[in-house]
Structure 1
Amino acid sequence: MDKELGKILIIDDDEDVLLAAKLLLKKHAHEVIIEKNPKKIPFLMNNDTYDVILLDMNFSKDITSGKEGFYWLEQILDIDPSAVVILITAFGDVEMAVKALKVGATDFVLKPWQNEKLLATISTAIKLKKSYTEVDKLKQAKKLLEDDMNQPFKDIIGQSEAMKNVFSIIDKVAKTDANVLILGENGTGKELIARALHQKSSRQENVFVGVDMGAITETLFESELFGHKKGSFTDAKEDRAGRFEVANKGTLFLDEIGNLSLPLQSKLLTVLQRREVTRIGSNKSVPIDIRLICATNMPVHDMVGDNTFRQDLLYRINTVEIRLPALRERLEDIPLLAEHFMKVYCGKYRKQIKKMSAATLKRLQKYSWPGNIRELQHAIERAIIMSEGSTLNPEDFFFLADKTETKNESDDNFNLDEVEKNVIQRAINKHSGNISKAAKELGLTRASLYRRLEKHGL
């Protein structure tokens, strides 16, 4: 018999029953809490968690029907649907036992009980409680793993010096649990780098959990990351483990972390410092063991100077920093990337396109690719869909309008929005994506340039 039966709560209005049960169970349980008044159940359950609850079926106002027991059983399961409840009564019968099990009780014992029978029943219930918890986490982990398996283009492709440097850093840091911050423009493949770090780590057999911080609203931040208890807010219809809990023993990837407001940065920092989370609506902290990887396209070092990003949080998340080059900084990788995407989309759309002409490659390498690899991927997909031949030619990419190729034509463009967009893009290209230098060149503050980048989708 396991001598550590966890934490047990016993509710019965008979003091003799409470004392007898506690005397028996305290030898085998980690902790035994007894309570005469069932009205204290909501308070007890909202302030602590129990591995097993022993609940009397009949209290002083309702001697034999068991109605009070069923009422409090429903209250318990409403607060915690995964609660393991064993009903006890001196007037039990098969009909009442079946009804109790249908309502949600785990088991049913009669008073006076046999000690060995009661211990065996509680031991079985403890194992069931653990299985409930594991099933909850496994269901969410399974969904995330399935999503992970469906992610396209897992391989990181590149032979340029810039990418060789990235690969070298990955090899050095992957086996450690060091926090990593990945910096790079939109579309450069930051998530692929995060997944590569996970696959090469000692946590590779466990789940990789990715969270787009830019897509989480302020109101849902804590629920998504830390989890919630049923009823803790309007839409909380069931208990839910947050991303930190689901990622336990694995890797948690927080993308677009630079978009977090200062209040949310503070909440995140607290969790990272304490290495534990508390679900909304609960007072119980859950320890977490994760490998943290963050990414952003924002200049977080400059943002620290502007007091829009916490310096202590930056120290916490960037033990090692990886800067991903923009595609315009690794143009020699375009033939490899183009060949890869051609194979993928020819297979997807059942096209018999065999190659890409030299002139086409030359055109692709002349283009500045403001959308980086993601833009290249979409350009090749579109070209393959529209092409009717066996070779991709320059005219298949007619939709690429490189600002550097058409800057003379732009002189005739009097649309202020287009002119502003073109000038900003040229400044960004000139300074290789350095926002501070581009802003200075344009005579803008960094904040003003960020607003314009957002406005034009750059």
Structure 2
Amino acid sequence: DDEDVLLAAKLLLKKHAHQVIIEKNPKKIPFLLNNDTYDVILLDMNFSKDTTSGKEGFEWLAHILEHDPSAVVIMITAFGDVEMAVRALKEGATDFVLKPWQNEKLLATISTAIKLKKSYKEVDKLKKAKKQLEEDINQPFKDIIGRSRAIQDVFNLIEKVAKTDANVLILGENGTGKELIARAIHQRSLRKDNSFISVDMGAITETLFESELFGHKKGAFTDAKEDRAGRFEIANEGTLFLDEIGNLSLPLQSKLLTVLQNRTVTRIGTNKAINIDIRLVCATNMNIHDMVQDNTFRQDLLYRINTVEIKLPPLRDRLDDIPLLAEHFIKQYAKKYRKEVKGISDDAIHKLKKYNWPGNIRELQHAIERAIIMTDDNTLDSADFLFLSPGASSGGSDVNTDNLNLDEVEKSVIQKAINIHDGNISKAAEELGLTRASLYRRLEKHGL
């Protein structure tokens, strides 16, 4: 509360710090904490006239640490109040300085505190990244399996793009393994020793978008009970994978574009911009180029995210990989369910190759899992896959392939998707690779 002391401290410290904020009124501490973050806070023990108890200092120390448990606070106390300073350390202060201070000792104390703050940040980032990775990593298999020409072309593209920092857009139907490709790009990149953070954009509500991606300060909104780093911050120096990016509304696309252009994020509840350094990989099962034409996806955002585009082939275009994939899943689920299943018959493979696999590799995985559970034999046979719908087998759909009129074919395919999903527009749109809005327009067009 002594302006002369504050100015003396500022004159000394501004030679060694990027910014020094001084304040004589402790009641402004909450405002300062809400509007910025500080590497070190120097806090006096007493503010009221003729008060020497240090009670105010302890109260404000508790308030600061409640707001930010990782805050580094150095207490300043009058000469001789060593016992009070020791109590301050026990209550969460990082260090203490006696008045009148020695300049060299004050600078040394602050320098040590800054290093401590940096280590706190690194530990906090590692903890959050570890927690996020544990939540995100749920791999159906560790490596990409396949020898077909279609998947080999994808491997070649991965090798070319992985070592660069180019943004990548992965296109493919549901179940083709888009996240697996994203992880392969990260694992072969120069950022492989840092975090790979995956975000399902389709599962994030509009209200939680900024909090999830950009983070928030404690108290920024009702449920913000602690400071939280967003996915961009956690992925700093690593790879951020935004899955189902085609599901973003236009307002959210605009917010994402701003972050990608500025390379900074601002947590909700603060005005401080945080620099980010990420490699961005996005994916969608939608026809994103058609969405640009329909004005449901921003063209400038598409330019940002698809420096390189990778198109994943559906399983029906890589049928030669079915035996390899089937063997892999058999080993995986035989072990999981403690079954003695050793392989799969040629007849079963033939049946699997005749099926159209609208759900792609994910559907094959579930088919093998179900067959493993239900079989009593050591080898899977065609009879173990009777549950596969013959209506979806190759060339056996309800679509009249003799009629090559595009409108009629489109109408038939849409009708089939609606029937399969019992009129559920969201699920039908997802399977067709369309937005709900696009599907509604087509329903109206065809009078369905």
TM-score category (smaller protein): 0.7 to 0.9
Measured in 2, the distance between the counterparts of 1:373 and 1:139 equals 33
Counterpart of 1:88 in structure 2 is 76
SS of the residue 2:22 aligns to? strand
Does residue 124 of structure 1 match 2:109? no
In structure 2, do the counterparts of structure 1 residues 277 and 443 end up closer, same or farther at CA, with 3 Å as the change threshold?
Answer: closer
The answer to whether the 8 A contact 1:345-1:384 is kept is yes
Counterpart of 1:400 in structure 2 is 388
Counterpart of 2:156 in structure 1 is 168
Counterpart of 2:410 in structure 1 is 439
Q: 2:426 is aligned with what amino acid?
A: E
In structure 2, do the counterparts of structure 1 residues 183 and 149 end up closer, same or farther at CA, with 3 Å as the change threshold?
Answer: closer
Counterpart of 1:280 in structure 2 is 268
1:294-309 equivalent positions in 2, closer than 5 A: 294-309=282-297
Does residue 78 of structure 1 match 2:66? yes
Query: Structure 1 length normalisation: TM-score?
Result: 0.86
The answer to whether the 8 A contact 1:182-1:294 is kept is yes
Counterpart of 1:454 in structure 2 is 426
Counterpart of 2:165 in structure 1 is 177
Unaligned runs of 5+ in 2: 432-448
Bigger mean CA offset, 130-139 vs 93-102? 93-102
Counterpart of 1:158 in structure 2 is 146
Measured in 2, the distance between the counterparts of 1:405 and 1:170 equals 31
In structure 2, do the counterparts of structure 1 residues 174 and 443 end up closer, same or farther at CA, with 3 Å as the change threshold?
Answer: closer
The answer to whether the 8 A contact 2:356-2:393 is kept is no
In structure 2, do the counterparts of structure 1 residues 89 and 332 end up closer, same or farther at CA, with 3 Å as the change threshold?
Answer: same
Does residue 356 of structure 1 match 2:356? no
1:233 to 204, 211, 221: 221
In structure 2, do the counterparts of structure 1 residues 62 and 389 end up closer, same or farther at CA, with 3 Å as the change threshold?
Answer: farther
Bigger mean CA offset, 72-81 vs 250-259? 72-81
What are the Cα deviations for residues 103-159 of structure 1, in whole angstroms up to 9, with x where unaligned? 322122221223333222211111111111111111012223445665230211112
The answer to whether the 8 A contact 2:129-2:234 is kept is yes
- CA shift for structure 1 position 239: 1.0
Bigger mean CA offset, 107-116 vs 220-229? 107-116
Query: Structure 2 length normalisation: TM-score?
Result: 0.88
Counterpart of 1:3 in structure 2 is none
The answer to whether the 8 A contact 1:184-1:296 is kept is yes
Bigger mean CA offset, 290-299 vs 45-54? 45-54
- CA shift for structure 1 position 165: 1.5
In structure 2, do the counterparts of structure 1 residues 407 and 210 end up closer, same or farther at CA, with 3 Å as the change threshold?
Answer: closer
Counterpart of 2:93 in structure 1 is 105
The answer to whether the 8 A contact 1:331-1:365 is kept is yes
What are the Cα deviations for residues 67-116 of structure 1, in whole angstroms up to 9, with x where unaligned? 22222223322333322111112166354224322332212222122333
Measured in 1, the distance between the counterparts of 2:248 and 2:16 equals 48
The answer to whether the 8 A contact 1:144-1:207 is kept is no
In structure 2, do the counterparts of structure 1 residues 299 and 19 end up closer, same or farther at CA, with 3 Å as the change threshold?
Answer: same
SS of the residue 2:390 aligns to? coil
Alignment RMSD, CA only?
2.9
Measured in 1, the distance between the counterparts of 2:400 and 2:185 equals 33
Does residue 198 of structure 1 match 2:186? yes
In structure 2, do the counterparts of structure 1 residues 343 and 94 end up closer, same or farther at CA, with 3 Å as the change threshold?
Answer: same
- CA shift for structure 1 position 452: 5.5
In structure 2, do the counterparts of structure 1 residues 438 and 216 end up closer, same or farther at CA, with 3 Å as the change threshold?
Answer: farther
Counterpart of 2:441 in structure 1 is none
In structure 2, do the counterparts of structure 1 residues 215 and 246 end up closer, same or farther at CA, with 3 Å as the change threshold?
Answer: same
Counterpart of 2:28 in structure 1 is 40
Bigger mean CA offset, 65-74 vs 248-257? 65-74
Q: 1:100 is aligned with what amino acid?
A: A
Q: 2:384 is aligned with what amino acid?
A: D
- CA shift for structure 1 position 258: 0.4
SS of the residue 1:34 aligns to? coil
Does residue 15 of structure 1 match 2:3? yes
The answer to whether the 8 A contact 1:368-1:402 is kept is no
SS of the residue 2:20 aligns to? strand
The answer to whether the 8 A contact 1:64-1:91 is kept is no
1:54-73 equivalent positions in 2, closer than 5 A: 54-61=42-49, 63-73=51-61
- CA shift for structure 1 position 453: 5.4
SS of the residue 1:403 aligns to? helix
Counterpart of 1:10 in structure 2 is none
- CA shift for structure 1 position 382: 1.2
SS of the residue 2:21 aligns to? strand
Q: How many percent of aligned residue pairs carry the same amino acid?
A: 75
Counterpart of 2:13 in structure 1 is 25
The answer to whether the 8 A contact 1:62-1:68 is kept is no
SS of the residue 2:281 aligns to? strand
In structure 2, do the counterparts of structure 1 residues 192 and 407 end up closer, same or farther at CA, with 3 Å as the change threshold?
Answer: closer
Q: 2:323 is aligned with what amino acid?
A: P
In structure 2, do the counterparts of structure 1 residues 329 and 336 end up closer, same or farther at CA, with 3 Å as the change threshold?
Answer: same
In structure 2, do the counterparts of structure 1 residues 124 and 314 end up closer, same or farther at CA, with 3 Å as the change threshold?
Answer: same
Measured in 2, the distance between the counterparts of 1:264 and 1:62 equals 55
Unaligned runs of 5+ in 1: 1-12, 409-421
The answer to whether the 8 A contact 1:144-1:208 is kept is no
SS of the residue 1:31 aligns to? coil
